[in-house]
Structure 1
Amino acid sequence: MVPPPVTRGLLRAVFGLPGPVKRLIAGAPVRLDGQRLDLDAQLLLRMTRLEGGHLAAPTVEEARRGLRRGQSYLDRVPARPVRTRDVDAGGVPARLYTPKGLPAGSPLLVFYHGGGWVIGGLDTHDTVCRYLAVHADVRVLSVAYRLAPEHRYPAATEDAVAAYEWAVANAGTLDADPAAVAVGGDSAGGNLAAVVGLLAERRPDFALLFYPAADLTVRRRSRELFADGFYLTDDDMTWFRDHYCPDEERRADPAASPLLAEDLSGFPATYLVTAGFDPLRDEGEAFARRLAEAGVPVAARRQDDLVHGFVNMWPLGGRFREALSEAAGALRTGLRAGPPKRQG
């Protein structure tokens, strides 16, 4: 019932407090699996519990409203202006982000938002796309793929591939370099980016994967360790999976669970980052290991003091922003200092 501007002001005030005061509010340090939770992450979790603390909800629309409301509290944008415009990416709605002063012929990131394939959208990940555009010095095409349960698997994967292939074919009209097109996304969006890396006829030049959902068939140890209390819960993931892919037999499809693909050898060079206190940690890291075993250049990074969803939390500063900044640097380097660019 509190208006978003009031909540935003409260968040800024609390996170601006001295460390000892924040510790009093957050409680005793949390240590689990040899990791210590970042103070600001713990503080945010404490405040999130005041609003219920779960991404899933009794109805899909309630869950969508909850995520939109939560993101409205984190509306900070980078200082460098970013121009946006709506784009029809081969029949899939999308939004193009272009930082001020970025010359034509820049690299392009095709980005897929998180939200369990059920919630989330262009607006919930607007600040993330702006940050990546500015700090990686790239254009970003954010894709509004169809959501479940209105459009179940494989609708999202079809949209993800279609938007990427349209972006490659039309890079020139976006003032982007057709030989430097990356895919990226967080959580469910990381899953879709991985699927594009597997299925696209013209493979991406780089993949930026934030804590991707990689396997819908197995509950690994991290699902047990961090089942509740760390933003994304085990129950949330079950709720998302059941809405997205209710057909149990299809969950083993590589287009649903890219970790189960037989051959990963053609996958693009990758920066894959997980969060230490995240139910999806172990499956993301298993995917990184499989990429390395297949000979794919992969930088696997665990931000061991953070939680799922940290990319959306960067406006709070601290470790959230540090982690996203590191990923932006990896994207910038991967697209500009990687293997020789293919032509055409």
Structure 2
Amino acid sequence: MASDLFLPEAPPLSPAWLAYEKSKGHVEAPSPQEDITPADALRLRQRSYAKTCRDRNERLTSPTGPSHALLSNIQTHPDSTQSPDGATIHLRIYIPTSLTHPQDFIIYYHGGGLCVGDLDSEDLQCRRLAKDLGIKVVSVEYRLFPDHSPDTAVADAWAAFIGIAKLWKYNTDQEPGRVYIVGSSSGAQLAAQTAQRARGTPYLISGLVLRCPVTVDASKGGVSIPQRYEDRHTSFSPSFGTSLLGFDADNHLPMARDMPLNAESFAGMPPTFLQLCTNDIFYSDGACFAEALGEAGNELVTDVMVGWPHTFWLKAPELEEAGEADGRVIGWLRQRAGAE
């Protein structure tokens, strides 16, 4: 991996993003009441975030909205699978009218720091993938902190993968299809962990898309960062913070025990498309993971969005650059589907 993937500090933000920010502004989560517990404050934020996402989806898919076409020629229906402890893991399946690859699936894990997010938060992303690729998409709703540990989210992600993959692997009526996994932010963390765990099992993954992945716990002075990356993991710092995701050394996200960058081996991972934003406190998470994948001999494409903040395409999908970022993901998946 080229050494210039590592950045000592963030570059200037893109003028296009700054113009968008100035014109639209950025709505922060409402301030909690002073007498509320941190856990209850987070539960309020979950509800606020869910409403913000639903309102955004409704605005963008309105008859005059830029994403209105994503409502047509696609069906959605609820489904579920079960976790090892008996909990229900809710799923949403997107089925385009025109199925280019009828037996294939994309499994999608939403982001949100394992604290917020649901099946609505990245609905437009799932619709775009299904419609543009002609592939079924299964979106996974995992359990969230603070009511559940980050390790529960990891377990739910794996249980969902197994439940969906069994439909693919053991379909006796037709030829088995291919499974692709896509995730953003902490959802990309779950996607990477699922792919790591799937190695050596019958459940082959044909392609892995990680968008601004969280791969290591960089808090507490970086004590959890593998020693070889300690000096090069620079993004957990004020320089990389933005209005979308600021830096606060004392307020870090809940982290699972076994993060992707702490794996003992990186060999045998599926072909991977790794998309990074330079102005992101998790930028180095992705840069380090890219080097680990590349040095282990995995097939890897790294796409760097210079001057853009963490998963900006989710907050500003109407921007031309957001469409371009999505388009490169779709192009890579289309190439993978056509090459096999």
| Correspondence 1:83 to 2:59 | no
| Correspondence 1:232 to 2:249 | no
Indicate the SS of the match to 1:52: coil
| 8 Å CA contact 2:94, 2:138 repeated in 1 | yes
**In the TM superposition, what is the alpha-carbon distance from 1:47 to its structure 2 partner?**
5.7
Deviates more, 1:315-324 or 1:97-106: 97-106
* Residue among 85, 95, 110 paired with 2:107: 110
Indicate the SS of the match to 2:104: strand
- Matching of residues 113-192 of structure 1 within 5 Å: 113-171=110-168, 178-192=176-190
The aligned residue for residue 54 of structure 2 is 72
**In the TM superposition, what is the alpha-carbon distance from 1:187 to its structure 2 partner?**
0.4
Q: Which has the higher helix share?
A: 1
Relative distance call for 1:43 and 1:64 in structure 2 (3 A) is farther
**In the TM superposition, what is the alpha-carbon distance from 1:225 to its structure 2 partner?**
4.4
Identity fraction in percent: 26
The aligned residue for residue 64 of structure 2 is none
Relative distance call for 1:235 and 1:33 in structure 2 (3 A) is closer
Q: Given the two structures, how large is their TM-score scaled by the length of structure 1?
A: 0.77
After superposition, give the CA deviation of every residue in 1:51-71 in whole Å (9 maximum; x if it has no partner): 337999961123223322432
Q: Given the two structures, how large is their TM-score scaled by the length of structure 2?
A: 0.78
- Matching of residues 1-344 of structure 1 within 5 Å: 33=9, 35-46=11-22, 51-52=27-28, 59-75=41-57, 76=60, 77=67, 79=69, 80-90=72-82, 91-102=88-99, 105-171=102-168, 178-200=176-198, 201=201, 202-217=203-218, 219=222, 220-235=233-248, 238-241=251-254, 244-245=255-256, 250=257, 253=258, 257-313=259-315, 315-338=317-340
After superposition, give the CA deviation of every residue in 1:49-98 in whole Å (9 maximum; x if it has no partner): 55337999961123223322432353233625321011113442100011
| 8 Å CA contact 2:181, 2:209 repeated in 1 | yes
| 8 Å CA contact 1:38, 1:319 repeated in 2 | no
Indicate the SS of the match to 1:302: strand
After superposition, give the CA deviation of every residue in 1:143-162 in whole Å (9 maximum; x if it has no partner): 00111111103111111111
| 8 Å CA contact 2:241, 2:280 repeated in 1 | no
Indicate the SS of the match to 1:319: helix
Question: Residues of 1 paired with 2:31 and 2:187: CA distance?
Answer: 16
Unaligned runs of 5+ in 2: 1-7, 61-66, 83-87, 223-232
Unaligned runs of 5+ in 1: 1-31, 339-344
CA RMSD of aligned residues (A): 2.9
Question: Residues of 2 paired with 1:305 and 1:177: CA distance?
Answer: 44
**In the TM superposition, what is the alpha-carbon distance from 1:329 to its structure 2 partner?**
1.1
